[in-house]
């Protein structure tokens, strides 16, 4: 009797945990410790759950005493997988197609470089290859940004360089933004405090005609940084309050974490996610060591409604270049 009681309790607990992991927004727990990290890796969660189902199936087949319990847990895991795959499928498993670029299109490249790890040559090569006019580089120093701009200028693509560094102790405390000279000159308050632990660059056009460009680096949801992480997401929501904004970078968060932070149908603040709009939002950008569909899609390009996404892809050809993040590339066209 006691065995049946404890088995029933265990089944209820496991089912409850799986429901929260599959749909934390239902309980308002998407930003809760542990759950926030687990839900970031939905693809990996599904893979691990399927492995557990195989193990439990073998247990059920080999042990009559444990058969009912193992079978019930396996069914609960399969339901969890079904819910998770349904969520991921609505976000898109990857559509790398691009429309033909028009004259007023803007191409945005974002790459967290893990402290300049790929080097200026690799960054500049990718930016030139993709024709990027906006390049956001979290964890990238001004020195590397200037080197990248020098290489791009020599190739016929001059760039303005803007860096905000909270200190020089760690390269992670620097964020660099490159903007094509063709978009005009921008103004950045390098002394401004933006996101709490790691800097975000806010660049406004000097002529007032172009988009406000925000190179994002929110802190990761580590146990000691959960408060700062939540405040960073709310700051980013307020940062996208103008009518013409392009935000790009390492948000250290997925679509699951933005419940209640978007205005109307927007993802966060007044900005919407380019990956979601282009059926790429289930493709992971971190860590680069995992297959993309098992990783966390925490790098984003977000825009106000005056921009239309005409192409997006997670770049997987640079996984061996030293960074733990994959670059993302987005093509934007003026809407309307």
18 or 1: whose pLDDT is higher? 18
- Tens digit of each residue's pLDDT (9 = 90 or more) over 206-235: 988 899 999 999 999 999 999 999 999 999
Per-residue pLDDT, averaged over 155-167, amounts to 97
- Tens digit of each residue's pLDDT (9 = 90 or more) over 77-118: 999 999 999 999 999 999 999 999 998 999 999 999 999 999
User: In a 3-state reduction of DSSP, which class is residue 55?
Assistant: helix
- What is residue 1's predicted lDDT score, i.e. its pLDDT? 53
Q: Measured between alpha carbons, how far is 151 from 105 in angstroms, rounded to an integer?
A: 23
List for the chain the helix, strand, coil content (%; round to 5).
Answer: 40, 20, 40
- What is residue 268's predicted lDDT score, i.e. its pLDDT? 98
Q: The tokens 């005409």 sit on which residue?
A: 310
DSSP 247: E
Q: Measured between alpha carbons, how far is 224 from 15 in angstroms, rounded to an integer?
A: 28
Which DSSP helix (H) or strand (E) runs through 262?
Answer: none
Q: Measured between alpha carbons, how far is 174 from 89 in angstroms, rounded to an integer?
A: 35
Phi, psi at 286, each rounded to 5°:
-150, 140
- Tens digit of each residue's pLDDT (9 = 90 or more) over 174-214: 999 999 999 999 999 888 889 999 999 999 999 888 999 99
Q: Which residues pair with 249 in a beta bridge?
A: 216, 300
Q: Measured between alpha carbons, how far is 174 from 154 in angstroms, rounded to an integer?
A: 25
- Tens digit of each residue's pLDDT (9 = 90 or more) over 241-283: 889 999 999 999 999 999 999 999 999 999 999 999 999 999 9
Buried b / exposed e over 56-92, threshold 16 CB at 10 Å, is beebbeeeeeeeebbebbbebbeebbebbeebbeebb
Within 8 A by CB and 6+ apart from 1, the residues are: none
Buried b / exposed e over 104-127, threshold 16 CB at 10 Å, is ebbbbbbbbbbbbbbebebbbbbb
Own/partner long-range contacts of 144-150 (Cβ < 8 Å, ≥24 apart): 144/113, 144/116, 144/119, 144/120, 144/176, 145/176, 145/177, 145/178, 147/120, 148/120, 148/123, 148/124, 148/178, 149/178, 150/120
CB 321 within 8 Å of CB 118: yes
DSSP 271: B
Phi, psi at 133, each rounded to 5°:
-100, -20
Which DSSP helix (H) or strand (E) runs through 195?
Answer: none
Q: Measured between alpha carbons, how far is 240 from 68 in angstroms, rounded to an integer?
A: 52
| pLDDT at residue 62 greater than cutoff 90 | no
DSSP 220: P
First-last CA distance in the chain: 68
């Amino acid at each position: 009797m006691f065995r049946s009681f404890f088995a029933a309790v265990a089944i209820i607990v496991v089912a409850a945990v799986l429901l929260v992991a599959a749909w934390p927004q239902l309980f308002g727990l998407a930003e809760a410790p542990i759950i926030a990290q687990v839900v970031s890796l939905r693809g990996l969660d599904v893979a691990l759950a399927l492995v557990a189902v195989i193990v439990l199936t073998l247990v059920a087949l080999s042990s009559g005493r444990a058969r009912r319990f193992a079978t019930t847990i396996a069914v609960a895991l399969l339901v969890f997988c079904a819910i998770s795959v349904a969520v991921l499928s609505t976000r898109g498993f990857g559509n790398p197609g691009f429309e033909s670029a028009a004259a007023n299109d803007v191409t945005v490249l974002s790459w967290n470089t893990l402290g300049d790890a790929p080097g200026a040559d690799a960054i500049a090569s990718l930016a030139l290859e993709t024709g990027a006019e906006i390049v956001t580089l979290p964890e990238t120093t001004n020195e590397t940004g200037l080197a990248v701009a020098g290489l791009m200028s020599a190739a016929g693509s001059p760039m303005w360089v803007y860096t905000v560094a909270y200190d020089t102790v760690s390269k992670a405390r620097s964020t660099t933004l490159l903007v094509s000279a063709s978009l005009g000159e921008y103004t950045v308050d390098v002394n401004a405090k933006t996101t709490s632990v790691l800097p975000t660059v806010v660049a406004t056009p000097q002529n007032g005609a172009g988009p406000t460009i925000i190179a994002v680096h929110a802190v990761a949801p580590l146990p000691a940084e959960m408060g700062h992480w939540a405040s960073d997401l709310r700051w980013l929501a307020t940062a996208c309050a103008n009518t013409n904004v392009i935000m790009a970078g390492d948000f250290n968060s997925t679509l699951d974490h933005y419940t209640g932070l978007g205005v109307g149908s927007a993802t966060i603040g007044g900005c919407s996610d380019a990956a979601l709009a282009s059926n790429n939002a289930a493709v992971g950008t971190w860590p680069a060591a995992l297959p993309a569909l098992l990783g966390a899609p925490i790098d984003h390009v977000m825009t106000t409604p005056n921009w239309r996404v005409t192409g997006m892809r997670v770049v997987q050809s640079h996984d061996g270049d030293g960074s733990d993040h994959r670059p993302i590339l987005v093509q934007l066209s003026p809407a309307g």
